[in-house]
């Protein structure tokens, strides 16, 4: 791969659990607060440039759990019109894990095997990440009892991601620290972005529902720090869904989402220091298929 010295595989798993309490002030106004428990794991892999010899391998893994909160309000104008507003707090994650280097040799310009004392090396790694605060404004219009149309706009403050810095508290050798820090740290300079979406649901009968939607999402990643760890761009999403009540207690929902990422022309210096040229044109399209089976215990 042309970008293997920057990224070969990136995995991010994020699970949010939320405890929410709501209160109806009157028939038209409701308020809610929620506590978020966020559990996340991250794994980033890449090759190490040891040309003219064979590549080495690097994997950085970490995990963390953290807390945040939400505050929301709902204003019901009448049976046809409703407005909603939600604030979601930042979540401060402090990842703890390990970095593992494998297949090290002295074939390249930097004698990695000599520096790290052999072909393999593992040490503790720590990093911090601030997940962004966000504000969502929503509007719901119900033309008929069977038909509902939803609009929403979301602001996400990704400017909290200014840089990626990994520390290695168990390593004291200055040469090793210099190599590790250079290969795992980078500037990000992400920006705040907007997303806009529209969706609709039509109830054909008491048991069946058809859904469709569209969203537009800005990327927070500027061209100057774009890399293939997360090759994002502005995107357009299209949704189709179908729901059916199979019994009084059992519901099946099927959905498809297609995400079309706008073409992105990249011309930056990311990767140059490790022998990877990321300049070029990037296109992507993602298909997501979702099936959900819900059972209600009554």
Q: How far apart are CA 197 and CA 215, in angstroms?
A: 4
Q: Which domains does the chain carry?
A: 9-295 (2.40.160.60)
Q: Dihedral of the CA atoms 220, 223, 225, 229 (nearest 10)?
A: 70
pLDDT band at 275 (very low <50, low <70, confident <90, very high): confident
Length of the chain, please?
A: 298
**Tokens describing residue 250:** 């059992």
pTM, two decimals, is: 0.87
What's the pLDDT at 197? 98
pLDDT for residue 180 is more than 80: yes
pLDDT, tens digit (0-9, with 9 covering 90-100), for 139-176: 999 999 999 999 999 999 999 999 999 999 999 999 99
pLDDT, tens digit (0-9, with 9 covering 90-100), for 230-267: 899 999 999 999 999 999 889 999 999 999 999 999 99
What's the pLDDT at 233? 96
pLDDT, tens digit (0-9, with 9 covering 90-100), for 13-59: 999 999 999 999 999 999 999 999 999 999 999 999 998 999 999 99
pLDDT, tens digit (0-9, with 9 covering 90-100), for 98-120: 999 999 999 888 899 999 999 99
Instruction: Give the percent of the chain with pLDDT over 90.
Output: 85
Mean pLDDT within 185-198: 95
pLDDT band at 185 (very low <50, low <70, confident <90, very high): confident
Going from the C-alpha of 162 to that of each of 49, 167, 189, 190, the distances in angstroms are 27, 16, 4, 6
What's the pLDDT at 177? 94
Q: Is 270 exposed, middle or buried (0-12, 13-18, 19+ CB in 10 A)?
A: buried
């Amino acid at each position: 791969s042309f970008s293997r010295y920057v990224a070969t595989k990136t995995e991010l798993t994020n699970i949010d659990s939320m405890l929410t309490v709501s209160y109806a002030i009157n028939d038209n106004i409701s308020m809610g607060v929620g506590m978020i428990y966020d559990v996340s794991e991250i794994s980033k892999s890449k090759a190490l440039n040891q040309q003219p010899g064979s590549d080495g391998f690097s994997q950085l893994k970490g995990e963390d759990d953290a807390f945040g909160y939400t505050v929301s309000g709902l204003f019901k104008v009448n049976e046809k019109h409703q407005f909603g507003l939600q604030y979601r707090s930042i979540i401060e994650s402090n990842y703890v894990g390990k970095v593992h280097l494998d297949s090290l040799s002295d074939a390249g310009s930097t004698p990695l095997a000599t520096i790290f004392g052999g072909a393999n090396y593992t040490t503790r790694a720590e990093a911090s990440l601030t997940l962004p605060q966000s504000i969502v404004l929503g509007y719901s219009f119900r033309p008929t009892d069977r038909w509902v149309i939803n609009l929403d706009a979301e602001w996400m403050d990704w400017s909290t991601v200014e840089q990626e810095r990994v520390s290695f508290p168990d390593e004291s050798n200055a040469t090793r620290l210099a190599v590790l820090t250079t290969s795992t740290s980078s500037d990000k300079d992400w920006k705040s972005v907007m997303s806009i979406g529209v969706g609709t649901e039509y109830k054909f009968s008491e048991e069946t529902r058809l859904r469709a939607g569209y969203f537009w999402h800005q990327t927070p990643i500027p061209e100057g720090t774009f890399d293939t760890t997360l090759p994002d761009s502005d995107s357009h999403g299209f949704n189709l869904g179908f729901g059916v009540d199979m019994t009084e207690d059992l519901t099946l929902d099927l959905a498809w989402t297609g995400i079309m990422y706008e073409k992105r022309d990249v011309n930056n210096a990311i990767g140059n220091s490790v022998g990877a040229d990321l300049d070029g044109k990037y296109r992507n399209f993602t298909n997501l298929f979702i099936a959900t089976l819900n059972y209600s215990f009554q």
